[in-house]
Amino acid sequence: MRERMFFFTGLTFILLSAGCGDILDNTEPSTAIPGEEALATVDGVNAVRASMYSELHGFAFVTRMMLGPDALADNTSVLPGASRFFGLNNNSSNNGERSGLNDTDTQNTYEAVYDLIQSANLILNEVEEGVVDEATLNRYRGEAHTLRAFAMHYLVRVLGYEPGRIPDSGPGAGFDLGIIIRTEPTITIEDVDDRPRSTVEQVYEQIESDLLAALPLLEGQNNTEYVTEAFVQGLLARVYLYWSRYAEADSYATDAIATSGLSLVTDSAGVADMFDETAGDHPESVFTVQVNPSTESLGVNNSPNVYTATQWMAQIPTNSLIDLYEASDYRLGWYAPCFNDDEGSPESNCTSVNDEGWEIQKWNGDLGQYADNIPHMRIAELLLIQAEARLNTSGISAALAPLNNLREARGLTALSEADFTDNVALLDELLDERRRELVAEGHRFFDLKRLGRNIPFPNSATKISYNSHKILDDIDPAEVETNTALEQNPGY
């Protein structure tokens, strides 16, 4: 009897297993969702919006963006034995190629930029009707326009000449290409095409149109944890400055300051603590990327503060920078004797980079776990844009007003027209002021490049001549191989 039972049990099992095909359908990933579901729900739309901001936590948009341009120019330099950004400091690397600002190491800048643009394109094109209310959707779209423009400007500065600054001799003569413009998201493999680079003029126009589209969508937004109206205006000002459209630069910088409602910090302690999150939100920033130390920090290997202040002591301020400060400058509060927080001991080797043995403490891991919030535009920069724009539109005296405004807030005396023989002298002073104020915030290399100047070593010898092909970074050769329509930069 039980033998027969066994036989029938066996038969039943065979029949059951014949239905296996259905069983196979019922597996689902635990930490991902199918694409078609992502933008059809409120949670999905919120999460895709968050992915734009989350991209700003990556190495390319944090450490490389903030410290790379200083390391590639004359503001910071490595300690002997340290390797982080050694390639940028020395403009050298393996295989005859230098590691530049469009590097693939740690995080590929190019990839990070287009990942952000893909998220922005999804928000701009793919959110289904009625999933989120109109006011919210408008705001998200304004943010998407702005961040797409922000990302494009980052990359086009690295890979292309500024409009109007294209050299007419040398390896880059007449080279007018910028970057690839993508304003539609990739949904299926059919959307993936080999696309050529647009000209810098076209890219700047796209950036401008994105920012102008964002302005009305973000009217009244002033929470600096997200993209604010003032940030859009400030970004417009910055872009016009690079574009040599000075009147618009001045006008939008002025708007941005007014819209932000923020003003300069004017006391010594306040300036020194400006970047210390434990002392409160950044008082001068119109848009500050927030970093949750537990989960969003770049950690002991890749955070900006481990490069400059807490551990690896790789990027140390140079004499050429420190010598620019007067003793009364409140901004000396951003510097302190080198101290390795990991080992809990002073770092004596810093004297090999600057006489004082200082480190720079804008990035100091104050949030814990090597985390710092990332301010992307400050009132001080807006004043400096105003000054530079006015120098070009209206001359020295007009330029001095915003510059002196900043200087006085930093404990310095005002400068007068008599201090400058010509516009160039004031422009030089403005560049020095930008070094003093904006060190380690991602400006130095670009400030020189956008003005057609050579890039110096800290000892003022020329590191990269503006006429050298190396003033533009290369595109990863693998990318050029993949995208057959993509033209490499000259000289590579």
Partner 1 sequence: MVYILVGGGTAFAQSGNLTGTVTDAETGETLPGSNVLIVEISRGASADTDGSYEIRNINPGNYTVRITFIGYQTLTQEVQITAGQETVFNAALEVGSVGLDELIVTGYGVESKRELTGSISSVSSDEFSNIPVQNVESILQGRAAGVQVTTSSGNPGGAFQVRVRGNGSINAASEPLYIVDGVQISFSNQSELTSSSPLNAINPNDIESIEVLKDAAAAAIYGSQAASGVVLITTKRGVEGRTQITARAETGLRTATQRVGYLNSAQWAEYGIEAWQNDYRYLLGQEISREQAQAFLINDIGGIYGYGASATLDDLQNFNWQDYIYDQGIAQKYNISASGGGESTTFYLSAGLENTEGHVFGSNFDRYSLRANVDHQFTSRLQGDVNIGLTRSNQFGICQDGNFINCPPAQAMFEPPFSFPYLENGEYNPNTAFGLSTNPAVVQNEVERQVGNVQVLGDVSLNYQFTDWLNLSTTFGLDYRDISDERYDSPIANPSDGGAISRNFRTTSNTMGNIILSFRQSFDEIHNISGLAGSEYRREFFELVSTRGIGFPGSLFDVLNASATPTDASGFNSEFRLASYLGQIKYNYDERYYLAIVGRYDGHSRFGADTRWGLFPSVSGAWAVSEEDFFNVGVIEDLKIRVGYGTTGNANIGNFAARGLFAAEGSYIGNRALVPDQLPNADLGWEEAQEINLGLDYSLFDGRLYGSVDVYQRKNKNLLLDRNLPLDSGYGIITENIGSIRNRGLEFEINSANISRRDFAWNTRFNVAFQGNEILELSEGQDRINAGDEFQTLAVGHPIGVIFVPKWAGVNPADGRPMWYNADGNLTYTPTLDDYDYYKDGVQDMIGGLGNTFNYKDISLDVFFQFSFGQWAFANTDWYFTRTYNMYAQFDDMVLDRWREPGDITYVPRATTGETYPGTASYRTQLGTHSIYNASYIRLKSVTLSYELPALFIDRVGLAGIRLYASGINLMTWTNWPYYDPEVSFDTPGDIDIYNNLVAASYPSAMQVNAGIEVRF
Q: According to CB under 8 A, which residues from 3 to 62 bind partner 1?
A: 3, 6-7, 10, 13-14, 17-18, 20-21, 23-27, 29-38, 44, 46-51, 53-55, 57
* Interacting residue with partner 1 among 60, 62, 78, 117 (CB under 8 A): 117
**Shortest distance, position 320 Cβ to partner 1, whole Å:** 21
* Interacting residue with partner 1 among 70, 74, 103, 115 (CB under 8 A): 115
CB-based contacts of 40: which residues, under 8 Å, 6+ apart? 128, 131
Is 455 or 486 the residue whose CB approaches partner 1 more closely?
A: 486
> Chain-centre distance of CA 406, in angstroms?
23
* Interacting residue with partner 1 among 94, 169, 278, 421 (CB under 8 A): 94
Which residue(s) pair with 199 in the sheet? Answer: 177
* Interacting residue with partner 1 among 135, 168, 189, 323 (CB under 8 A): 189
**Chain residues 387-446 in contact with partner 1, contact rule CB under 8 A:** none
149 binds partner 1 (CB under 8 A): no
Measured CA to CA, the distance from residue 172 to residue 167 in angstroms comes to 6
Alpha helices, H only, 218-335: 229-242, 246-260, 268-272, 299-302, 304-308, 319-322
Is 118 or 354 the residue whose CB approaches partner 1 more closely?
A: 118
278 binds partner 1 (CB under 8 A): no
Measured CA to CA, the distance from residue 359 to residue 428 in angstroms comes to 25
Is 13 or 219 the residue whose CB approaches partner 1 more closely?
A: 13
**Chain residues 360-389 in contact with partner 1, contact rule CB under 8 A:** 369-370
The tokens for 492 are 């590579």
**Shortest distance, position 156 Cβ to partner 1, whole Å:** 13
Which 8-state DSSP code applies to residue 469?
Answer: G
**Shortest distance, position 210 Cβ to partner 1, whole Å:** 16
**Shortest distance, position 461 Cβ to partner 1, whole Å:** 15
Which residue(s) pair with 76 in the sheet? Answer: 317
Q: For tokens 């933008």, what's the residue?
A: 39
In the shown chain, the binding pattern of residues 324 to 353 toward partner 1, with x for contact by CB under 8 A and - for none, equals ----------------xxxxxx--xx----
C-alpha torsion sign, points 50, 56, 59, 62: negative
**Shortest distance, position 8 Cβ to partner 1, whole Å:** 11
Measured CA to CA, the distance from residue 492 to residue 485 in angstroms comes to 16
**Shortest distance, position 455 Cβ to partner 1, whole Å:** 20
- Position 485: which residue type? A
Q: For tokens 């991602």, what's the residue?
A: 442
Measured CA to CA, the distance from residue 13 to residue 6 in angstroms comes to 11
* Interacting residue with partner 1 among 164, 171, 185, 283 (CB under 8 A): 185
Long-range contacts of 9-13 (CB under 8 A, 24+ apart): none
The tokens for 435 are 């070094």
**Shortest distance, position 83 Cβ to partner 1, whole Å:** 9
Cβ-contact 440, 66 below 8 angstroms: yes
Question: Given the rule CB under 8 A, which of 135-143, 202-210, 318-326, 474-482 is the region that contacts partner 1?
Answer: 474-482
**Shortest distance, position 366 Cβ to partner 1, whole Å:** 14
